Amino acid sequence: MSKVAVVTGGSRGIGRGIVLELARLGYRIAIHSRTGGVAAEEAARLAREAGAPEVVTFEADLAEIDAGVALAEAVFLTFGRCDVWVNNAGIAPQVRADLLEMTPESWDTVLATNLRGPFFLSQYVARRMMEIRDGSSAAQHHHVAGTDRTRSASGHIVFVTSVSSELASVARGEYCVSKAGLSMVAHLFAARLADEGIVVTEIRPGIIATDMTAGVREKYDRLMEAGLVPQRRWGTPEDVGRAVAAIARGDLDFSTGAVIHVDGGLTLGRL
């Protein structure tokens, strides 16, 4: 039976780009969105057209830990397994306020969705992946011939962060902190789960053309023309999706903890 991938925030933008690339690999797909609606149904339709044999949509507010756990439980109940879990859902501050004007409410809202929620959701998902692995054949998933192990991973957890993990934007400090924290979460889970056969990878996108960046399109068009991005173009959701597809194919199974920059060279050190 086809493998299963879950993409949080999969109804639009980067999440939809990831969904479609995984659909092209033949994955059965769970698309999470916070509110469902037309965008989620359109993403599901496009995924089926791209080759996914089964697509199910789920709604949950991942800022609420119980809602995240309920989402994961529903996924495992529906599909019986999860091979690739992509933590993509995230929000920007409602108001781009100067660092000295940021409110505690904005801080709490952004960090609950972008950092606190994914941490505890991934904790639950990792435990379930390990339970499923331990319920499978020992010859397939455990030690074989001393310290030798099979080549295939027991599962993949992917964290989609941002170049804001390392580049400061003083008008959206809470977003930068949330993504920097999520980068460490990915690092921590990679270290903890390496010996469990679960590969953890961080995808760090740059300036990607989505509805989230539509409001700053003209600003970044000018900056790109001036050379801000060495490859001199916007990134696309498909660029990020192809990076996740490489992980899902198993191309990077000996690279747990890797940080993959999908940013056109934006974070290259240059004089």
Per-residue pLDDT reduced to its tens digit, 213-236? 888 889 999 999 999 999 999 999
85: CATH? 3.40.50.720
Query: Would you say residue 242 has pLDDT above 90?
Result: yes
Report the alpha-carbon distance of residue 82 to residue 206 in Å, rounded. 28
Q: What is the mean pLDDT of residues 209-216?
A: 86
In a domain, 105, yes or no: yes
In a domain, 131, yes or no: yes
State the average pLDDT for the chain. 93
Question: To the nearest whole percent, how much of the chain has pLDDT over 70?
Answer: 94
Lowest pLDDT segment from 4-8, 15-19, 144-148, 156-160:
144-148
Q: How far is CA 235 from the centre of its chain?
A: 16
- Strands of 55-59's sheet in order across: 55-59, 28-33, 4-7, 84-87, 155-160, 198-205, 259-262
Q: What is the mean pLDDT of residues 48-54?
A: 98
pLDDT of residue 139: 40
Report the alpha-carbon distance of residue 226 to residue 214 in Å, rounded. 19
Count how many domains the chain has. 1
Q: What is the mean pLDDT of residues 144-169?
A: 80
Query: Would you say residue 123 has pLDDT above 70?
Result: yes
DSSP H or E stretch at residue 260: strand 259-262
pLDDT of residue 224: 93
In a domain, 267, yes or no: no
In a domain, 269, yes or no: no
Query: Would you say residue 265 has pLDDT above 60?
Result: yes
In a domain, 144, yes or no: no
Report the alpha-carbon distance of residue 133 to residue 160 in Å, rounded. 24
Q: Centre a 10 Å sphere on the Cβ of residue 108 and count the other Cβ atoms it contains.
A: 13
pLDDT of residue 151: 53
If you search the block for the tokens 């969705």, which residue do you land on?
113
pLDDT of residue 135: 87
Query: Would you say residue 150 has pLDDT above 70?
Result: no
Q: How far is CA 78 from the centre of its chain?
A: 21
Query: Would you say residue 141 has pLDDT above 70?
Result: no
In a domain, 197, yes or no: yes
Residue 180 lies in domain: 4-139+151-262
Report the alpha-carbon distance of residue 193 to residue 5 in Å, rounded. 18
In a domain, 41, yes or no: yes
